[in-house]
Amino acid sequence: MKNSYIIGVGLIGGSLALAIRELFPETKIFGLDHNDTHLDEAMTLGLIDSKATYEDLANADVVVLSIPVDVAIVELPKVLDAIAKDTLVIDVGSTKAPICISVENHPNRRNFLATHPIAGTEFSGPKAAIHGLFRNKTNIICEVEKTAFKLQEKALKLFDRLGMRIRYMNPEAHDKHIAYVSHLSHISSFMLGKTVIEKEKNERDIFDMAGSGFASTVRLAKSSPEMWTPIFMQNKNNVIETLEEYIQNLTQFKKLMQDNDFETIRSEMYNTNHIKDILSGID
């Protein structure tokens, strides 16, 4: 890899830049971003070597598209228009069906690999980039069969060096499952934060009485609205389904409390404790 281009030098793009620099020291890393301040920051932080434009993409070995998912579906076709024959283009968005549809008939579809690295934090922007973000994380790859075999190999080699586990899935299954294990968590967290902020106008009270448990459940409410609004938009139907089930479970819990049926509450909590085993590999 001689030339890597990162479109969107935020948390994910920036962390990938850090990893590529470490693993492939010979690679020159170029950055593109609609936010020029972010590009300057990325230069200062040493994430990228130079700024670039779409015209430069013809020189790219690898292009990483790490921008909000609504912009990604507009930009990806332009990226595929601009690249050379052997350029690998990967995206890293949290929804996969819309981006796959956006290029399904593009003449350079075989240069593109749709991925979703399950990695990140609640922070955003170049300063949020961190070393080793992808190590031991899962990368979900969609529609692998639509990517040229040589470019699949190139991508898998990169992910292997990053220390990632690979899992293949079709875009529809990805979007459905991810609504449960990621998108719903963000809404539950944002609405928990909202409920508490609304009630507790005196912030000093929240601060004093809130412990690490509360901090943990509302952590995702710090996430970027610019990133998450388009995710909810693109995965609307799946997310609404998860929300309906979540609201139904909360409503049932409330009813059990109103009915003083604390034995059922106790046994429901025991059943859900089982999440310990499921999560043992993540924490």
Residue in 24, 11, 8, 6 with CA at minimum distance from that of residue 157: 24
CB of 274 to a second copy, least distance (A): 7
| 105 vs 215 by CB, closer to a second copy | 215
Choose, by CB under 8 A, the member of 118, 144, 148, 156 that binds a second copy: 118
78: contact with a second copy by CB under 8 A = no
Distance, CA of 140 to CA of 72 (rounded, Å): 17
Task: Map the footprint of a second copy across residues 14-53, applying CB under 8 A.
Answer: none
Beta strands 112-117 and 3-7, pairing class:
unpaired
Distance, CA of 131 to CA of 140 (rounded, Å): 20
- Which span (33-41, 50-58, 83-91, 274-282) binds a second copy, by CB under 8 A? 274-282
243: contact with a second copy by CB under 8 A = yes
Give the SS3 label for residue 104: coil
Task: Map the footprint of a second copy across residues 163-202, applying CB under 8 A.
Answer: 165, 167, 174, 177-178, 180-182, 184-200
- Which span (13-21, 76-84, 142-150, 244-252) binds a second copy, by CB under 8 A? 244-252
DSSP letter, residue 8: S
| 101 vs 197 by CB, closer to a second copy | 197
Distance, CA of 182 to CA of 232 (rounded, Å): 11
Q: How far is CA 257 from CA 2, 116, 231, in A?
A: 62, 40, 34
Q: Which helix (H) or strand (E) holds 142?
A: strand 138-142
- Which span (7-15, 56-64, 85-93, 246-254) binds a second copy, by CB under 8 A? 246-254
- Which span (14-22, 34-42, 98-106, 113-121) binds a second copy, by CB under 8 A? 113-121
